[in-house]
Structures are given as structure tokens and as C-alpha cells.
Amino acid sequence: MQTWYVANNGNDDWSGSLATPNAGDTLRRLRRRQPLVWINPNRQPAKACLANLPFSAADIADAEARWQRCAPLLVTLFPELQNSHGIIESPLLAAPKLAERILPPNSGRLFIKADHALPVAGSIKARGGIYAVLYFAEKLALVGGLLDSEQDDYRKLATPAARKLFAGYELSVGSTGNLGLSIGIAGAALGFQVAVHMSVEAKEWKKKRLRKRGVKVVEHATDYTAACVVARAEAAADPRKHFIDDENSVELFLGYACAVPRLKQQLADAGIAVDREHPLFIYLPCGVGGGPGGIAFAARHTFGDDAHGFFVEPVEAPCMTLGMLTGRHADISVYSLGLGLKTDADGLAVSTPSRFIGQLMEPLLDGCCTLEDRTLYRHLRDLYETEGLEVEPSAAAGCGVPRLLLEDNAAACYLRENELLSRMPRATHIVWTTGGLFVPPEQHRNYRALAHGRAMPRPD
């Protein structure tokens, strides 16, 4: 396993230049596995930074147009999308009972963006993973003459001729579980060969679900980062293998970004204003960074400075926090802090963040938070007991942020400096859930038992 180290003199005095003020203290807290809020000092006003980014609102619109073109195809492949006319989307759920448990008094309204219930793949990865597969299929079909143009009938991509074309290619991906599920399900449905390189953190039931679809599961005894190194190298050596790179994929990123214009409509339908007097806070579980990065990027484009995005990570795997804090991004690993990815939040168990996302987030993201597994389990229980929602531990991460924002000194300073404290009673908080729909019932029961402190044998 490849490991990156930062020079340390043994007294917690980290050497070398650090990207942010008070980084040394934050690094010590990360090493000690202490829950914290890190506020990004490099966040810029929307007008100052959006025009200088490599992507724009036009890229989000282009991606949404592709989703619309492919909608009839998706209905053909997945009949469960009939009622939504081929659009893969989740509801925005008001959560007043959960708010009583996790929101401090007089601090606004709480909603859940229920991506744990996204159809087809059952997690937020349905947005990025399925979009990336569709993007590649469209490209092959246009070059191969199966589609005459982007105005053609995309149901042609479900014909025997299309399956014959796609069968000549292998899609590959490195995954802790959910991204592999989304790419495996969509790729196999179109006729691609698919190889999912599963890291040691991946749950057995996810592997079984993929194998039932005819997907090749390559099991690794190493973590996500190392599994990606192998998958990336194999694809680079074979032009018929297409590696969908969670660390660097623009297609994944833009697939996730399409969630936010849809969210804007959902908020409008619910009569929720987003402006200076009604700030929006979005809490996003973060692994390597692609999903939350795409959403945070689109939120700033859509809502400007009235949107405040926070990534949430386990104390055992704060890779994005570490990368942005030090400015080293993919050149530093949580192993350098003595951490070991010992978390049940398998979708967030990543040692090294995406450089692409980390650098893009430098002017956009408000901050990162870290939480203990016991907190994730408590909020998993809260979601079930108050709103009847069954999620994976990683999907409950966002529930821990609202109270931490007001209790952590750095966060409280951030709220005061940005004149947000007085506006909190009019704020909207969105907990973005990420996975859970296809978790086996016995696994959900096990999660709830763990949340109540009753250890049970872990099912396969």
C-alpha cells in the first residue's frame, strides 16, 4: 500500500508550509481523532471566483440536457423509472421531528435530500456513475453511427446492435461500494463488460449484488486509493478498457452537479426562499470528493453567496479536510496522521482526496467537519426513529453538522464574521443522505442495534 508522509519532529510541530492559519492545531486534533469544524479561509465571494473556474453554469446545463436526451432510454432499461419519465431524482423531505433532535433551538428549518432512495442504484452515486456511463455510451454511439445526432431517439442504445458495440468495451472503476454499484448496474444494462475494483472496505452484499448482474468484481486487500491505482493502470494499457476515475472524472462531477438546479425547483415548490436573509446550509458526506464537490460547485453557481456548503468525514478518514488544510490535496494521506480508515462509513473510507476536487473547492467550500462513528450511528437511529428512513452510516453524517457549527469555536467565529448568527432562525438546513435503498433488511437491523449499543454478528 502506498503511503504519503509529512515530516514531523515528534512534538506535533508539523514542518513545511501550511495552507491555512492555525493549521498546526487542526492537524493535532485530526491526529487525535477529535471531531472538529475546519473553516476554509480561502473561500471567495461568488462574483470573484466563479468566472475563473474551469467549469460554468453552461456545463451544468449541457449535462442536464444529456440526462433529458437519455431519459427515454433509461425508461427502457429500468421500468421503475416509468413514473418519473426516465429522470433519476430524489425527494426533498421536510424533517421537523428530526430537527427537534439535531437542530439547535431557533436555528431554522431542516430538510433531507433523500439520495439514499435514488432509484436504480440506491445512492447518490446514481447521479455521477450512471451519467458517466451514459456519456461514454453516447460518445461511442455517435462515432459508431448508431445515433445520427443528439436529436436522435436514444432508445436505439438498447437495441441488439448497440449491445454488440458496447460488448466490445470494458468499463472499469475503483470503488468502496456505491460507485461500483451504479456503474456496474448501468453498464451491464447497456451490454458493456464491467470490472469493479472493490477496496477492502466494501461490503460483501454490494459485491454479491454486482455479481448477480454479471459484473466482474475484483477484490483488493488494500484501500480505495490503491485499488484505483491498479484499475487505472490496467485501463491505460488497453484501449478497449474505459476507466471511470472518481478522483479525476469531469463526467462524474457534472452528473452530480445536475442535482442542484433540480433542488432549486424543489425548494421553490416548497415555498422556501434562498437569499441573504434566508441562508441555505448544505451538509454533504465526503469520501474522495466527487459527489459533494459537484453539488457544492453547482450550489455556488445556483445560489451564489447565500449557499454554504460543508463536507463531512469520519475522524478516521478526514482526507479532504487534510488535503485542503495543508494545500497538498492528493499528495498527502490520512496514514501520515497515524489514522487507519477504521470506520463503518465505508463510502467515506478514503485515505487520499481528489486533487481535482480539492483544488476546485478552494474558493468555493465553506468548510469541513469530522465526526466519530458513534455519532453517525446515533444519527442513523435518529433518521429511522423520527422520519422512518433507513440509511447507511455514511449517509447519516450530515445530521451531525448543525449543532457542531454552533458549538465549535472556529465555526461560531465564521458565523459571526459572515453575519449569519442573526439569520439562523430563517435558515434552511439540508442533510444530504447518500446510500441505503438496497441495503439488505438484516443489515439495517444490525445498524440500528449498533446504534443502540447492542453488538450483533455482522451479516454478509
- Which residues, in sequence order, are CB contacts of 297 under 8 Å at separation 6+? 53, 55, 253, 257, 360, 361, 364
H or E stretch covering 36: strand 36-39
For residues 348-353, average pLDDT: 96
Residues 6+ apart with CB under 8 A from 266: 91, 92
Mean pLDDT on 229-239: 93
Q: How confident is residue 23, by pLDDT bands cut at 50, 70 and 90?
A: confident
Q: What's the pLDDT band for 406 if we cut at 50, 70, 90?
A: confident
Q: From the CB of residue 132, how many other CB atoms can be counted at a distance below 10 Å?
A: 30
Q: pLDDT above 70 covers what percent of the chain?
A: 94
Report residue 9's pLDDT band, with 50, 70 and 90 as the boundaries: very low
Q: How many Cβ atoms are within 10 Å of 65's Cβ, its own excluded?
A: 12
> Which H helix or E strand runs over 429?
strand 428-433
Q: Topology of domain 124-248, per CATH?
A: Rossmann fold (3.40.50)
**% of the chain with per-residue pLDDT over 90:** 88
Per-residue model confidence as pLDDT tens digits over 75-86: 999 999 999 999
Quote the pLDDT of residue 447.
95
Residue pair 301/56 in contact (Cβ under 8 Å)? The answer is yes
Could you report the per-residue pLDDT of 266-323, keeping only the tens digit for each?
A: 999 999 999 999 999 999 999 999 999 999 999 999 999 999 999 999 999 999 999 9
Q: Alpha-carbon distance 152 to 123, whole Å?
A: 30
Q: State the pLDDT at residue 457.
A: 42
CB contact set of 123 (below 8 Å; sequence gap of 6+): 115, 116, 178, 181, 182, 347, 392, 395, 434, 435, 436, 437
Domain with CATH 3.40.50.1100 in the chain: 23-56+80-121+253-451, 124-248
Cβ–Cβ < 8 Å for 414, 39: yes
Q: Residue 182 is which amino acid?
A: S
Alpha helices in 194-238 (DSSP H): 204-212, 224-236
- Tell me how far apart the alpha carbons of residues 385 and 395 are, in angstroms, rounded to a whole number: 15
Name the 3-class secondary structure at 311. Answer: strand
Judge contact between 295 and 259, C-beta under 8 A: yes
Q: How many CB atoms lie under 10 A from the CB of residue 240?
A: 9
**Residue 209: pLDDT band by 50, 70, 90 thresholds?**
very high
pLDDT at 296: 98
User: What is the pLDDT, as a whole number, of residue 454?
Assistant: 63
pLDDT at 13 over 80: no
Q: Closest Cα to residue 111, out of 136, 133, 92? A: 92
Residues whose CB is less than 8 angstroms from the CB of residue 319 and which lie 6 or more positions away in sequence, other chains included: 287, 288, 313, 333, 334, 350, 351, 352, 353
pLDDT of 459 over the 50 cut: no
Summarize pLDDT for 92-120 with one digit per residue, the tens. 999 999 999 999 999 999 999 999 999 99
Average pLDDT of the residues in 241-247: 94
pLDDT at 2 over 70: no
| Confidence (pLDDT) at 407 | 85
Q: Does the pLDDT at position 123 exceed 90?
A: yes
Do β-strands 109-114 and 428-433 pair in parallel, antiparallel, or remain unpaired?
parallel
Average pLDDT over residues 388-403: 97
Q: What is the mean pLDDT of residues 179-200?
A: 96
Is the predicted pLDDT of residue 216 greater than 80, yes or no?
yes
Read off the pLDDT of residues 50-72 as tens digits, 9 standing for 90 and up. 999 999 999 999 999 999 999 99
Cα separation, 67 vs 46, whole angstroms: 27
Q: Are 119 and 81 within 8 A, CB to CB?
A: yes
According to the model, what pLDDT value does residue 24 have? 84
Mean pLDDT of all residues in the chain?
92
Task: Report residue 8's pLDDT band, with 50, 70 and 90 as the boundaries.
Answer: very low
pLDDT at residue 21, rounded to an integer: 60
- pLDDT band of 47, cuts 50, 70, 90: very high
Average pLDDT over residues 427-452: 95
**Whole-angstrom distance, CA of residue 449 vs CA of residue 2:** 35
- Which pLDDT score is estimated for 455? 53
Q: pLDDT value at position 453?
A: 82
Residue 440 contacts residue 459 (beta carbons within 8 Å): yes
Does residue 142 register a pLDDT over 70?
A: yes
Average pLDDT over residues 188-198: 97
Q: 149-181 pLDDT, tens per residue?
A: 999 999 999 999 999 999 999 999 999 899 999
Q: From 28, 1, 36, select the one nearest 314 (Cα to Cα).
A: 36
Lowest-confidence region among 4-8, 227-231, 309-313: 4-8
Closest CA to 292 of 266, 267, 324: 324
The set of cell numbers assigned to 220 is: 483488493
Which CATH class for the 23-56+80-121+253-451 domain?
alpha beta
318 close to 376: Cβ distance less than 8 angstroms: no
Q: How many residues does the chain have?
A: 460
Rounded to two decimals, what is the model's pTM? 0.93
